[in-house]
Amino acid sequence: MIGSDVNEIKAFKTHMMNEFEMLDLGSLTYFLGLEFTEVAEGLVMHHKKYASDILKRFNIMKCNLSSSPAETNVKLVMIEEEELVDPTLFKQIVGSLRYLCNSRPDIVYAVGIIMSYPKF
């Protein structure tokens, strides 16, 4: 339940709890992997823990920072001399990044470029 009138929210919750068997879990902090932080202007949605878990899981905690996740109009090409990547690992990384796009629209373009690569 969300709204701007605290009294109306309380009244609605009381009515629902009288009508149905339910609990008041308090303020929203975590839902479907998304984290919510209350600020003066409302709620901020983020994936801070999820993003950190991705970096740890794929051992890229010390990766280089970038202010822009991808160059525009970049074309991916396969370099025959380089070692092939593990397709399962690649798909796990891309899948994790796709879910992260729910709260990070700045990486949508870069993840889309990677997903369009025809070899996987």
Residue 35 sits at φ, ψ, to 5 deg, of -105, 145
Lowest mean pLDDT among 11-20, 48-57, 99-108: 99-108
pLDDT tens, 36-84? 998 998 888 888 888 899 999 999 888 887 777 777 777 777 778 888 8
Q: Which two tokens stand for residue 26?
A: 């308090």
Please state, in angstroms and rounded to a whole number, the distance separating the CA atoms of residues 62 and 99.
Answer: 21
Query: Cβ of 117: how many Cβ atoms within 10 Å?
Result: 13
Give the DSSP letter of residue 71.
-
Share of the chain above pLDDT 70, in %: 97
Query: Cβ of 71: how many Cβ atoms within 10 Å?
Result: 10
